[in-house]
Structure 1
Amino acid sequence: MPSDPVRVTPPRDEAPPQRSIPVPMLLSLALLSAIAPLATDMYLPGLPRVVDDLHTSPSSVQLTLTTFMLGLAAGQLLVGPLSDGLGRRRPLLVGTVLLTLAGLGCALAPSIAVLVVVRFLQGLTGGIGVVVARAVIADRTSGDQAARLFSVMMIITSAAPVVAPLLGGALVGPIGWRGVFYVLTGLALVMLFAVARFVPETLPADRRHPVEARVIAGNIAAVLGDRRYLGYTLSFGIGFGAMFAYISASPFVIQDIMGFSPGMYSVLFAINALGIGIAGWVNTRLVGRLHPRRLLAIGVGALLTVGVAMLVVALVAPDVHWLLLVLMFCLTSTFGLTAGNATALALGEVRERAGTGSAVLGTLQFTVGAIVSPLVGIGGSTSVVPMALTVFVCTVLSAAAFATTVRSAH
């Protein structure tokens, strides 16, 4: 094994020529990656109206969120490996066309059953953009440049959770929940134009794999068999579980337990999301001075520290609300240090299968989120301990996964 513990790309995978990614192309890729929070958070303020308009129950409407997330995970796992054989541009174009049609289907849905189905399709087709956007960057960059670009994308996409609920809340009143889906359909059309105009094919024909079930299964097995890729991916995915624990529990913790108003909750949520962008910007300035692996180690260490501190505060001083709010901000901010670096390092390990590697990474991310979400609700709206405990467990497992990459480097 190589003696250098910070090698990003193993000797068997030749790094691509370092080609710059123009700003319009990077913005197009960021918009593709932002479709998940946009399609989720813009829709949330209209949920009560969906219950009334479609004569259904709140639990049935919640299924439209669940099926969207399942579709998002399935879309990445399906199309990521296919893009290693078909190239990047064709799946992006076809997927964005289908995303547009799915958004239109949501806007026109006559019943809750139809809405549940088309929301799954919207997630499925939205997952195509998410997974292929990461693969495109991995095709053209590596090392410091890749980490910097993934961090820039994180800054851009972190704005989506801030803007989306505010925009959705402003739109639901005048145009209704169906109007929100028409707006999302319009955004999908903008994405289609951006892909067609600014995103060229980035995977040469001689680097593609045959589109066969045996080959796709082999590619998945190959990336899962790469210990360092798996370590970086698990560190990122399980670390995201801590973030999702906060996202799922924060409405109840901040409003029901701490007593803040819904408006103040939106402000605090926006501040915490802004922390991701700030940390991501700091990361872009540090990449080049510090290796992405070193920055990831700092981020994972900070994440573990926050996890321990949050559990201690939840058990010992749960009424010190300002301290919990500070820790929530620190928790979200660490994501700006870990996400871009972990993604660059993970995909650097499996460069010849970047689409498959991106798919496994994204699928793990949202699968962990789906597992974590019900766990933080065990305590209802009376205790912060379930959230803190879930965050703590996720941070410990994330740090343990990162530690395996250190051992496998020697």
Structure 2
Amino acid sequence: MHLKDASYQRRKLAIILTFLTIPFSGFLTDIYLPSFPSMARSLSVTEQSVQYTLTAFFLSYGFAQLLVGSILDSVGRQKPVVFSLIVLVASSVGIALTQDVSVIIILRIVQGITTAFIVVAKRAFFVDLFEAEERKGYLSYFTIVWSAGPIVAPFLGGYLEELIGWKANFWFLAIYSSVLLIGELTVGGETILEKSRFHLKTITSLYVSMLGNSGFLLGILVLGLSYSVTMVFNIAGPFLVEEHFEFNAVVIGYCTLVLGVAWMLGGIISKQVKSLRFNAKSMIGSMAQVGLVILLVLIGYQYDYLVLLVSFGFLIHICSGYLFTNFFTYNLLFFPKNAGIAGGLMGGLLYVITSLSSFVIASSGDINSTFDMGIRYLMVSVILFLIVLVIIRRPFN
């Protein structure tokens, strides 16, 4: 059934279902972060092996977004979403039942691909069904609702880990995706009005053209590295908090909760600061971030406390959220006539960059102190600052 023809009550329920689905990607990536140390012990593997389960998800999620939008335009929205949710239920149960980290990595790759279908389809939900101001009103809540996932998920995951164990996180994901599946089958429906043929050659040509635009490409690098800054703690923080500072998974959850709020706060600040031009906003954000990271490295060399790390992390993540929001808008203005494809390319490469930076962080050696964390923040933030500097000094159209 097409939701355009559905009753007012069913459309209202479908909207609620969509808002429940939007944060799901954040739960898939962040709910098991507090369980990283426990997973490594339970599976008898290295820290890096567990960290690669997150990297694998980001990589497949990023690459899938490059084609998912066009596939959904050609086959519709609902059937791929239903199939993806079925796969997510099965794969979450599979992860909860296995003791093989290689199987977990493979299933996380599958989850990344299916999550891309769900996220892109639900992103198009409001564009398909609503016009002008009504559409704008719903979309204004999109980012806020999405932010709930990375904020709430590790907080919940910390308690699940402490009370039951790491497998509880994936049983929760199986239940969550089952609820969404039931909702999709009962109150969901098709939203696309007119399907279009899938033209791989045309899409490839557009992608090549877009990637030939230096300003657009550098903007994507800024987005990917801004998000990568937050991954420094997500990748290494759980092990540092539990093994070095000797706190439990609940504390890890609280730490990631605080840093998630910082990211969202940075985005809000960026939207509220309207008196400054783009270049000034970008330079202030990137310089503040590098300055804070250098200060963390210097102080962390002498003092090693969790409260010190999280306090500086809070300010550093505010800067990342601020820069991300600033450049997200900047990049969307490059190709207004192909905003959908540009958005898919931007979203896909963003997560590819994040997965690569996560791999580098996970493979960069042991992180055993506040100073070590500061060095990893410095690795990402300096590169980010240099790219912002290039963009500001060479204005792109």
Same fold (TM over 0.5): yes
Q: Sort the TM-score into its range (normalised by shorter chain).
A: 0.7 to 0.9
Tell me if 1:298 matches 2:285: no
The residue number in structure 2 matching 1:171 is 160
**1:238 alignment partner, one of 211, 221, 225:** 225
Q: Which amino acid aligns with 2:290?
A: G
Equivalent residues of 1:82, 1:355 under 8 A apart: no
RMSD: 4.2
Q: Secondary structure at the match of 2:302?
A: coil
**How far does residue 396 in structure 1 lie from its aligned partner after superposition?**
0.9
Q: 2:142 aligns to what?
A: 153
User: Contact 2:86–2:181 (CA<8 Å) still a contact in 1?
Assistant: yes
Comparing 150-159 with 326-335, greater Cα deviation is found at 150-159
Deviation at residue 121 of structure 1 after TM alignment: 1.0
Q: Which amino acid aligns with 1:277?
A: M
Letter in 2 for 1:101: A
Offset, 1:306: 1.6
Matched letter for residue 178 of structure 2: L
Letter in 2 for 1:125: T
- Distance change in 2, residues 1:95/1:397 (3 Å): farther
Tell me what 1:182 maps to.
171
- 2:350 corresponds to: 365
CA distance in 1, matches of 2:242, 2:38: 22
Preserved contact between residue 150 and residue 340 of structure 1 (Cα < 8 Å): no
Q: SS of the counterpart of 2:368? A: coil
Aligned residue in 2 for 1:15? none
**Structure 1: which amino acid aligns with 2:86?**
V
Larger mean Cα displacement after TM superposition, 230-239 or 30-39: 30-39
Task: Pick closer, same or farther for the CA change 1:369–1:88 going to 2, 3 Å.
Answer: same
Partner of 2:375: 386
TM-score (norm 1): 0.73
**Aligned partner (choices 317, 337, 346) of residue 332 of structure 1:** 317
- How far is the alpha carbon of 1:80 from its aligned partner? 3.1
Hey, what does 1:277 align to over in structure 2?
264
Contact 1:100 1:189 in 2 (8 A): yes
Distance 1:391 1:144, change over 3 A: farther
**Matching residue of 1:407:** 395
- Does the 8 Å contact 1:150/1:344 carry over to 2? no
Q: What residue is the counterpart of 2:109 in the other structure?
A: 120
Number of residue pairs matched? 378
Change (3 A) 1:85 1:178: same
CA-to-aligned-CA distance 1:327-361 (integer Å, 9 cap, x gap): 32122123443444533443453355444323322
Q: Distance in 1 between matches of 2:112 and 2:151?
A: 20
CA pair 331-26 structure 1, distance change in 2 beyond 3 A: farther
Distance in structure 1 (CA, Å) of the matches to 2:340 and 2:203: 11
Corresponding letter in the other structure for 1:373 = S
Native 8 Å contact 2:35 2:161 kept in 1: yes
Give the Cα separation in 2 of the matches to 1:107 and 1:75: 24
Q: Please give the secondary structure, in 2, of the residue aligned with 1:95.
A: helix
Task: Confirm whether residue 307 of structure 1 aligns to residue 290 of structure 2.
Answer: yes
TM-score (norm 2): 0.75
In 2, Cα distance between equivalents of 1:395 and 1:27:
37
- Superposition deviation, residue 386 in structure 1: 2.0
In structure 1, the gaps of 5 or more residues are 1-21
SS at match of 2:58: helix
Evaluate the alpha carbon distance shift between residue 147 and residue 343 of structure 1 in structure 2; reply closer, same or farther with a 3 A threshold: farther
Aligned partners of 1:83 and 1:132 also within 8 Å: yes
TM alignment of 1:10-409, pairs within 5 A: 28-29=17-18, 31-46=20-35, 56-58=44-46, 60-109=49-98, 111-135=100-124, 152-172=141-161, 176-193=165-182, 197=187, 201=191, 204-205=194-195, 208=196, 210-251=197-238, 259=245, 261-262=247-248, 263-282=250-269, 286=272, 290=274, 294=277, 298=281, 301-315=284-298, 318-319=301-302, 325-376=310-361, 377-378=364-365, 380-382=367-369, 383-384=371-372, 385-400=374-389, 402-403=391-392, 407-409=395-397
